[in-house]
Structure 1
Amino acid sequence: MKAAWKLKKYLHPYIFFAILAPSMMILEVIMDLVQPTILQKIIDNGIANGDEQYIISMFGLMILSAFIALIGGVACSTYATKTAVNFATDVRQDLYETITRFSERNKDHFTLGKLITNLTSDIETLQRAVIMLLKVFVRGPLMFIGAIIFVYITARELFSVLLYVVPILAISVIIFTQLTGKFFRAVQEVMDQMNTKVQENLAGIRVIKAFNRKAHQIQQFLEVNGLLTKRNITAEQVVGVLMPLTALIVNIGLVFALWIGAIKVENNIIEVGVILAFINYLMMILQGLISSSNVLIQIARAIPSAERIVTVLEEPNDIQNCHEPIKNSPRGEVEFKNVSFSYTKQGEPVLKDISFHVKAGETIGIIGMTGSGKSTMMKMLPRAFDVDQGEVLIDQQPIQYYDLATLRQAIGFAPQKAALFSMSIEGNLKYGKQDVSLQEINEALEASCAAEFVEKLPDREQHVLSQGATNLSGGQKQRLAMSRAFIRKPTILILDDTTSAVDAISEKKIQQAIDSNFPNSTKFIVSSKVSSIKNADQILVIEDGRLIASGTHEELLQSSEYYMEIVETQTEKGGVMND
């Protein structure tokens, strides 16, 4: 409940609507409560005495009260919906912004499946809860209490029936509400698992097909889906029992009321209209309790969602700005001092005591086996991760002293896996720089050798990419990712194995374009191919998370056996180009 209370700040901008909605509902309930009493008067005073004028006037009063109730109900529904939808929109927006600021470690902690559930079904559950809270939760208790008061005033002779019916109903609602919260929390946990499974399967659909593991993945999904089905059925069955149980209790009370009322009518203690009014009020009591229980059940379902959302919103971000950060753009001098890093803190370090120094404007090649820590090391520069031990310095200042926006604006990063979005090619390139001209776009495409295939597309730069850019080849995606990095003319350029799917001729053209277009940029070229880094000012050789050698291509051929083995292996396969 504390978590739900923490989200109340998102209601503040819409507090006027949040107050107006239940106010209109109060008006509707009062009009509904008056109508059985008016009906009683029509029967006992009008019909019994044959007073047509009285019947017509009271009937007009009933029509008026029904019309006012209609206005109140419509207004309540309108304002409650505005409040709830805007509340959900603001929570979703804040949640999304929080997630986009997360470090890689933060995202791994929650898992993508859970974060997707937070942004979709959890928010939707909260929205429904707010709507019901503003509409039904006012109506339910008010109708319940109001009907009891009216029974005491107009049908006091039958009031004793309520002394048995109401406590049993109230206890039933409390018990079922508590059970519902427990079961729906379990449903949300399995929903996370299912979303994670779907996300993984859709992202890896080509791998699944390539290894013919479709049946295996379907079986795994069936298991998760089956568990979700079982938990949903259990939760819904608990909810489903409440309605017939409360109806049974009310019907038993109704039978007793009719039995007692018949005796009292026969003894001229009460009139028939009183019994009819009592039956109507008893049904209102039932309706009020059912409405209240539905809201409580919805709140019970929403509380776990609120807890999950608040947990994400309050998650401390691993990567944060320091107090009064440096906002001057760096020159590009980079130094790693005894850097060690582990993804899980307690796990095996991915980087182990890495130290090297790079002058501004130098080209640095980084080579090593797959999984040696090359990409992880480069992710330290835009602060996707922070080091566990040691420090990274830029222009002789610890990287944590720089303003995050300033630091990342100075870096052009083409990741190992080209991440392109489902929009036009121009839109993707503008991720690198918003205020970019068409000439700059063409220059960036030319530098990455992407122009040769973009020019053949029907809409050229306006060609829309599919989700995951599946309508492009691997090499085309890599070249567009490089274009996006080139277009911002960065102080520090990081190319993380971006030519693995590019042919040798295009690779050489890209290297020449980098040398001519970015002479003053500090360039880090991560590759498993010697041909990509042999002309670098300095080559760093990484093995199992350690820097085992550094120097130029010629120096390493003389000093590093590991590097010589790589060169010899790739030379045998025709993978090392000669100038």
Structure 2
Amino acid sequence: MQAVLSLKKYLKPYVAFALIAPLLMVLEVSMDLVQPTIMQHIIDRGIAAGDTSYVVKMFGLMILCAIIGLIGGAGCSIYASKTAINFAADIRQELYETITYFSNKNKDHFTLGKLITNITSDVEMLQRALTMLLKVFVRGPLTFMGAILIVFLTARELFPILLVVVPILAIAIIYFSKISGKMFLKVQEAVDAVNTRVQENLAGIRVIKAYNRKQHQIEQFTAVNGALMRRNIHAEQIIGILMPLTVFVVNMGIIAALWLGAIKVENDTIEVGMILAFINYLMMIMGGLMSSTHVLMLIARAVPSANRIDAVLKEKSEIHNNEQPFTGSIKGAVTFENVSFAYNKNSEPVLKNISFKANAGETIGIIGMTGSGKTTIVQLIPRLYDADQGVIKIDDRPIEQYDLQALRAAIGYAPQKATLFSRTIEENVKYGDESASLEELIEALESSCALEFVEKFEDKAQYTVAQGAANLSGGQKQRLAMARAFIRKPAILILDDTTSAVDSISESKIQNAIKENFKDSTKFIISSKVSSIRHADKILVLDDGEIVGQGTHDELLEANPAYQEIVSTQLVRGGTLNE
């Protein structure tokens, strides 16, 4: 319940709505409670006495009560819905903002499937629970207590029946509510598994088709979907027992009321109208208990969702700003001093004692075998991760001292996997700098050799990229990702194997553009091809997370065995490297 209390702050802006809704429900319940008593008077004083005018008068009063109750119920629904929908929207917004600022480690901790469940079904569950709490949970207890009070005051001869029926119903409700909370926590965990499986399969659909593994993936999804189905069925079966049990107990109460009432009518102790009113109130008591039970079930389901949401909102990002961050300009000199890093504290370090210096304006090439830590090095510069040991400096200042936004604003980063959004090409490229002019947009597209294919589209830069950039080739995606980095004109430019799907002619043009347009930028170029980095001022050769060589192409070619082996594997006929 601690998590539920911590989320109450999102309800504060809508307290007025949250108070109006129950008050209007009190009005509706009051009108509902009055009507059986009115019906009792119609039967016992009007019909029994043959007083038609009294019957008409009381019937009109009953209609008036129904109209007032209708207004109260409709008003309650409106204000309860406004409260719950706004409450859920604020939590969803906060969740999205929190997740956006998560470090990669935080995201890995929760997993994407679970975060998607948090922001969708968990929030939806809280919204439904709050709506029902403001509407039905007010109606249920009020109806229940009001009906018992009226029976005690007006039909005391039949009140002992309630002393038996109500405790049995209350015990059953408490017991089943307790069980349902545990059951629906397991259901939400199964939903996580389904979301994770769907997300993975949709992201890797091309690989699945290429390897003809469709049936295998269907079988895997069938397994998690089956687990969700079984847990849902189990949970619903447990709840399903409650309704028949409740109806049985209430029906026994009705039978007892009719039996006892018949005896007392015969003895002229009570009148027929009182028996009918009692049965109506008994049905109200059952309805009040059942509606309260339904809300308790929803609350039992919402509590695990609240706990999961609260855990995300309270998660402290691994990456955070300095209390007094430096916001000055960045020239771009980068220094690594004995930097080590592991993605998991219990796993082997991915980087081990990395040390090098890149002067402002230099080009640093990084090469090595797959898994040697090339990408990890450049991810530490914009603080996508923080180093476990050692110091990373920019302009001789530890990067932790920089304002995080200012630091990242000075970096143009084109990651290994080109990620584009389902927007126009212009919006995707200007994602790097929203204030860029049309001339700067064209320059960035030209520098990345993207202009040549963008100009062929009918809508040119207004061409809409499909979800997942499915309507672009791998090379086109890479070139647009580079254009997005170029348009920033950054102090530090990071290109992580961004020409792997680009032809050699276009790659040569891109290299020339970088040389001409980014003379003052410190450039980090990761590549598996020697031809992409051979002209760098300094080349870092990585092997198993360690720098096993650094220097120019000629220096390494002469003295570094690891680099020599890489070069030898890329020789073409004639004994020269691809340019």
Residues 408-428 of structure 1: per-residue CA shift (max 9 Å, x gap): 000000000000011110110
Matched residue SS, 2:570: helix
What is the match of residue 352 of structure 2?
A: 352
What is the match of residue 361 of structure 2?
A: 361
What is the match of residue 493 of structure 1?
A: 493
Q: C-alpha displacement at 1:572, in angstroms?
A: 3.1
CA distance in 2 between counterparts of 1:574 and 1:328 reads 51
% identity of equivalent residues = 65
What is the match of residue 551 of structure 2?
A: 551
Matched residue SS, 1:353: strand
Matched residue SS, 1:370: coil
User: Which segments of 5 or more consecutive residues in structure 2 lack a partner in the other structure?
Assistant: none
CA distance in 2 between counterparts of 1:430 and 1:23 reads 52
What is the match of residue 301 of structure 2?
A: 301
Q: C-alpha displacement at 1:573, in angstroms?
A: 6.8
What is the match of residue 338 of structure 1?
A: 338
Shift in CA distance, 575/501, structure 1 to aligned 2, threshold 3 Å: farther
Residues 19-55 of structure 1: per-residue CA shift (max 9 Å, x gap): 0001100000000000000111111111111112211
What is the match of residue 568 of structure 1?
A: 568
What is the match of residue 512 of structure 2?
A: 512
Matched residue SS, 1:393: strand
1:376 aligns with 2:367: no
What is the match of residue 532 of structure 2?
A: 532
Q: AA paired with 1:79?
A: Y
1:77 aligns with 2:77: yes
1:395 aligns with 2:395: yes
Q: AA paired with 1:535?
A: H
Q: AA paired with 1:297?
A: M
Shift in CA distance, 270/541, structure 1 to aligned 2, threshold 3 Å: same
1:123 aligns with 2:133: no
1:55 aligns with 2:60: no
1:246 aligns with 2:246: yes
What is the match of residue 230 of structure 1?
A: 230
What is the match of residue 5 of structure 1?
A: 5
What is the match of residue 189 of structure 1?
A: 189
TM-score by length of 2: 0.99
What is the match of residue 448 of structure 1?
A: 448
**1:329 touches 1:407 (CA, 8 Å); kept in 2?**
no
CA distance in 2 between counterparts of 1:4 and 1:504 reads 58
**2:572 touches 2:578 (CA, 8 Å); kept in 1?**
no
TM alignment of 1:417-432, pairs within 5 A:
417-432=417-432
Shift in CA distance, 557/168, structure 1 to aligned 2, threshold 3 Å: same
| Runs of 4+ off more than 4 Å | 573-579
Shift in CA distance, 244/490, structure 1 to aligned 2, threshold 3 Å: same
TM alignment of 1:84-163, pairs within 5 A:
84-163=84-163
**2:570 touches 2:577 (CA, 8 Å); kept in 1?**
no
Residues 520-553 of structure 1: per-residue CA shift (max 9 Å, x gap): 0000000010010000111111111001110111
TM-score by length of 1: 0.99
Shift in CA distance, 574/96, structure 1 to aligned 2, threshold 3 Å: farther
Residues 469-500 of structure 1: per-residue CA shift (max 9 Å, x gap): 01101000000000000001000000000000
What is the match of residue 34 of structure 2?
A: 34
What is the match of residue 481 of structure 2?
A: 481
Aligned residues: 579
Shift in CA distance, 456/7, structure 1 to aligned 2, threshold 3 Å: same
Shift in CA distance, 382/79, structure 1 to aligned 2, threshold 3 Å: same
**2:28 touches 2:70 (CA, 8 Å); kept in 1?**
yes
1:257 aligns with 2:273: no
Q: AA paired with 1:257?
A: A
CA distance in 2 between counterparts of 1:509 and 1:310 reads 51
Q: AA paired with 1:277?
A: A
Q: AA paired with 2:92?
A: R
CA distance in 2 between counterparts of 1:58 and 1:135 reads 29
CA distance in 1 between counterparts of 2:276 and 2:430 reads 72
What is the match of residue 65 of structure 2?
A: 65
Q: AA paired with 2:39?
A: L
What is the match of residue 15 of structure 1?
A: 15
CA distance in 2 between counterparts of 1:190 and 1:273 reads 53
Residues 29-86 of structure 1: per-residue CA shift (max 9 Å, x gap): 0000000001111111111111122111111111111000000000000000000000
What is the match of residue 277 of structure 1?
A: 277
Q: AA paired with 2:535?
A: N
Q: AA paired with 1:116?
A: I
CA distance in 2 between counterparts of 1:376 and 1:511 reads 23
**2:571 touches 2:578 (CA, 8 Å); kept in 1?**
no
